């Protein structure tokens, strides 16, 4: 009742065809569908659905007998047999050992398949109980054409969302589970083939103050810089882009198309090319330092990427040049869709330009762009291209695994690709995910875009 009152017209009652109802109120064929998938549907002449459910059950059983049980059996140990060699006819012949990465990957996939099988079990029960209830009510269960008609009409949302959901499961959820699992192993540069479960040892190392290449002090330094970078990279782009968009959108501004085309051209140039060119130009012997020294403005090269403060300011400024054109395009479309009646009514009431901006323009832009800003903030936390192509995380103190401009994502890259410490990289990846999830959810749930999705307030 509370949910019904809260949601109002959007409230959808739960389906009466639940697993509990099927097990308590269903007939013998419905209950047997918990063991023989699709039996209740086959009995009620829903042959295609019943055979499909039964085929999936048989496929799962065959998979578990042939490979799945073996994968699950090796998962607790992650393999024990090392690569060996033996002398055969005077030649050393190497025998392959266990590969913990493969065992972990296949084990995780098997666990996911088992979870999907449990979900399939609930589908079998619900489908059988639904067929039983409809047959008792209408005298027959829906046939294949009825199910297809319902799937393309009442349940078209499920049909359209099937492939995207499957893609998220395969390309996002499964790798995420694999990465989380890796954080609890000893998979590092010393154990690239065989490794074992170590529990929370890697988390203790990351959050300890014992020194080393990865420690709590370095993690907090990189985390703070990541959040500072994401904040400035997001909101400086937003406010400066809004400023330029409003100037171009003014009635007195001439050649609007020309100015918008100029900003759009920077979008057309691949970031890979433009950022590498800027990196070369800002080197101590690059074009900018050479020109400034020839003009007599400086005596020594400016430390664009050799001083921590200079490097951080440099990457933020160059990111403005990269990101402002996107913001201009976004806000230009919004400005052109704000009802002119609002501005005319405000002017009639005697509002000045600042009041019009703060009471009409800015709230409208924020309402529309809040999801975009959250997405941009998330993207900047994971903005690998700008940081790695410009500064490569430099300057880097001697012996440190992260530089002064490294983000969590570039630090993760260095720990995994450069140092082969995949377990520590997985811990950093988990921490990055937690930070982004907390910030994004709290921000979005407190925004007007979430609280009032149907209208602008």
Model pLDDT, residue 342: 83
Model pLDDT, residue 427: 92
> What CA–CA distance (Å, rounded) separates 393 from 11?
50
Model pLDDT, residue 184: 95
Model pLDDT, residue 407: 93
Torsion, Cα of 315, 318, 322, 326 (10° steps)? 90
Model pLDDT, residue 457: 45
* CA nearest neighbour of 412 among 271, 218, 273: 218
> What CA–CA distance (Å, rounded) separates 45 from 64?
30
Question: Which helix (H) or strand (E) is 421 found in, with range?
Answer: none
Model pLDDT, residue 12: 57
Model pLDDT, residue 85: 67
Cα–Cα distances (Å) from 83 to 93, 101, 102, in that order, read 11, 14, 15
DSSP state of 358: I
Q: Which two tokens stand for residue 437?
A: 């999830």
Give every residue of the chain whose pLDDT is below 50, as ranges: 455-457
Q: Write out pLDDT tens, residues 342-389.
A: 888 888 888 888 888 888 888 888 888 888 888 888 889 888 989 999
Model pLDDT, residue 456: 47
């Amino acid at each position: 009742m509370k949910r019904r009152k809260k949601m109002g017209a959007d409230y959808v009652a739960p389906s009466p065809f639940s697993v509990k109802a099927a097990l308590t109120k269903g007939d013998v064929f419905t209950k047997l569908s918990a063991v023989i998938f699709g039996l209740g549907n086959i009995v009620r002449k829903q042959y295609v659905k019943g055979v499909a459910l039964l085929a999936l059950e048989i496929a799962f059983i065959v998979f578990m007998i042939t490979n799945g049980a073996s994968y699950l059996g090796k998962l607790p140990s992650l393999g024990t047999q090392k690569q060996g060699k033996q002398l055969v006819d005077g030649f050393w012949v190497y025998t392959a050992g266990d590969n913990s990465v493969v065992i972990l990957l296949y084990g995780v996939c098997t666990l996911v398949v088992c979870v999907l099988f449990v979900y399939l079990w609930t589908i079998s029960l619900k489908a059988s109980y639904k067929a039983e209830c409809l047959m008792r009510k209408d005298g027959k269960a829906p046939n294949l054409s009825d199910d297809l008609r319902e799937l393309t009409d009442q349940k078209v949302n499920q049909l359209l969302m099937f492939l995207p959901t499957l893609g998220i499961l395969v390309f996002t959820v499964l790798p995420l589970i694999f990465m989380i699992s890796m954080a609890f192993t000893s998979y590092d540069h010393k154990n690239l083939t065989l490794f074992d479960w170590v529990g929370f040892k890697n988390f203790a190392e990351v959050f300890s103050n014992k020194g080393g290449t990865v420690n709590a002090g370095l993690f907090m330094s990189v985390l703070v810089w990541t959040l500072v970078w994401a904040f400035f990279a997001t909101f400086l782009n937003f406010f400066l882009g809004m400023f330029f968009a409003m100037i171009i959108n003014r009635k007195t501004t001439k050649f609007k198309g020309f100015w918008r085309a100029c900003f759009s051209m920077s979008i057309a140039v691949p970031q890979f090319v433009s950022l590498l060119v800027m990196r070369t130009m800002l080197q101590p012997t690059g074009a900018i330092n050479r020109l400034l020294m020839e003009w007599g403005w400086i005596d020594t090269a400016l430390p664009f990427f050799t001083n921590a403060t200079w490097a951080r300011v440099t990457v933020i400024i160059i990111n403005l040049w990269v990101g402002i054109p996107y913001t201009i395009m976004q806000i230009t479309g919004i400005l052109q869709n704000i009802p002119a009646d609002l501005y005319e009514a405000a002017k009639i009431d005697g509002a000045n330009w600042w009041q019009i901006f703060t009471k009409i323009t800015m709230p409208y832009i924020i309402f529309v762009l809040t999801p975009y800003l959250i997405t941009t903030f998330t993207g900047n936390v994971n903005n690998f291209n700008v940081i790695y192509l410009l500064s490569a995380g430099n300057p880097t103190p001697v012996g440190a695994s992260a530089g002064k401009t490294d983000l969590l994502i570039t630090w993760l890259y260095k720990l995994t690709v450069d140092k082969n410490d995949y377990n520590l990289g997985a811990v950093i990846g988990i921490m990055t995910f937690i930070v982004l999830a907390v910030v994004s959810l709290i921000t979005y749930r407190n925004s007007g875009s979430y609280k009032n999705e149907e209208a602008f307030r």
